[in-house]
Structure 1
Amino acid sequence: MNIVFVLFDNVTQLDFAGPVQFLSRLPGATTYIASTDGKAVSTDCGFAIVPNTSFADCPQADIICVPGGHGVREAIANTAIVEFVREQAKAADWITSVCTGSFILGAAGLLNGKRATTHWAYTQLLPLFGATHEEARVVRDGNLVTAGGVTSGIDFALELMALAKGEDVARSIQLALEYDPAPPFDGGHPSRTARPLVEGLKARVYDKAAADMEAAICATLAAT
């Protein structure tokens, strides 16, 4: 089983690091971390990730996963990235994304008519790619699996492992990696967070970020 992660500059590292830590432990799996030229990509945490393949040398994926991050705005306009995802998806068993990586799937024409999710601050943009937002941490529509923001990538990985290799395998890996979340606060989603906190964060960060993402999506769609 070939698992391919598609990376680009200014990726959110946990969008990638969470799922790859879990999925790489699937029995019989080989993990390929691909960037356009195989060279290091920057993350939003101030360090780089070194892939182990380029798009040209990457084999066909059984599972393709696209993480998100602020770099998505540039990635959806990058023909090499979008074409690589589109071509890989044609023969992949599972087409997946974490957070705003869903918009790269959208740019590749893979969300049209599908149910999907993304980070809560950007869900209103999914219809731009013909998708219907479903309120869930992980959404499966056929062989398309999209996860919400950042940490939901771990939940997505466990669900996908259960689908691919059975629940016992997924449970064993969950135990091995001691994924037993017990956060100190109840409020990782707007529906469970005090409204002033939600509105404050949106005003400081996500109103502009979502507007910038929308502008990038519209520009990409206009160019196609």
Structure 2
Amino acid sequence: MNMIGVLAFDGAEELDVVGPWEVLTASSALLERDGAPPDQVLLVAAGLEPVRCRKGMRLLPDATFADHPRLDVVVVPGGDGTLLASADRLLLDWLARVGAEASWVASVCTGALLLHASGLAAGKRLATHRVFEDRLTELGADVVRDARWVADGNVVSSQGVSAGIDMALWLVGQLHSPRHARATQRYIQYDPAPPYQADV
């Protein structure tokens, strides 16, 4: 069983939180169905008050920085709120502390900025949203471009928004097995086939 903490903060991008959450909790449900110990997934924030995401969705944290159990995996979303969060000493100190003890640290989109600002990404290659790649490079990060997700040691990061689902499925394969990750993908019926592809 893994204890997984998904960070929540004001201005986080909704799908950066909910995409990995869906993958990780679906994986846990399948484990439990098959008689294996399920992973536990918690939403962790500075306090227990509702967190307002970038487009208005409100999230209710399960635990605070001060009272959560030891985390095996930490998931850091992105969104416009990362700009303020990157100057939030309480958040960065928490992230540095729990990330140093975790088996895996993962980020989605501009969550890579928080990994960089906390020091967890020192010497690591990172992926981030394509419109933020230049800025993160200017800040001194080693940015990999045109990669949906990048794993470097125990740090895995992804490009923007929906790329967090791909990253989370890969992470499930590392935590359990590629076979289980494929079962999770089938369960959530994740088989992207977007319309209007010629316009992308």
8 Å Cα contact 2:14/2:57 also seen in 1: no
1:161 maps to which residue? 172
2:114 maps to which residue? 104
2:151 maps to which residue? 140
8 Å Cα contact 1:10/1:71 also seen in 2: yes
Change (3 A) 1:170 1:3: same
TM-score, normalised to structure 1, is 0.81
2:136 maps to which residue? 126
Structure with the larger helix share: 1
Q: Give the superposition deviation at 1:184.
A: 0.8
1:71 maps to which residue? 81
Q: Over aligned residue pairs, what C-alpha RMSD do you find?
A: 1.4
Per-residue displacement from partner, 1:176-211 (whole Å, max 9, x unpaired)?
A: 110011011336xxxx94xxxxxxxxxxxxxxxxxx
Q: Give the superposition deviation at 1:2.
A: 0.5
C-alpha distance in 2 between matches for 1:59 and 1:164: 18
SS at match of 2:189: coil
Q: Give the superposition deviation at 1:130.
A: 3.4
2:35 maps to which residue? none
TM-score, normalised to structure 2, is 0.90
SS at match of 1:56: coil
C-alpha distance in 1 between matches for 2:69 and 2:13: 24
Asked if 1:58 is matched to 2:71, the reply is no
8 Å Cα contact 2:73/2:102 also seen in 1: yes
1:208 maps to which residue? none
Change (3 A) 1:111 1:125: farther
C-alpha distance in 2 between matches for 1:47 and 1:173: 25
Equivalent residues in 2 for 1:1-224, closer than 5 Å: 1-24=2-25, 25-26=27-28, 27=31, 28-135=38-145, 136-186=147-197, 193=200
Amino acid in structure 1 at the alignment position of 2:158? A
Amino acid in structure 2 at the alignment position of 1:14? L
Q: Give the superposition deviation at 1:129.
A: 4.6
Amino acid in structure 1 at the alignment position of 2:148? R
SS at match of 2:42: strand
Q: Give the superposition deviation at 1:122.
A: 0.4
Per-residue displacement from partner, 1:8-50 (whole Å, max 9, x unpaired)?
A: 1011110000000111223321011011012210012223111
2:34 maps to which residue? none
Q: Give the superposition deviation at 1:127.
A: 2.9
Q: Give the superposition deviation at 1:5.
A: 0.7
User: In terms of Rg, which structure is larger?
Assistant: 1
Identical residues among aligned pairs (%): 35
C-alpha distance in 2 between matches for 1:78 and 1:166: 36
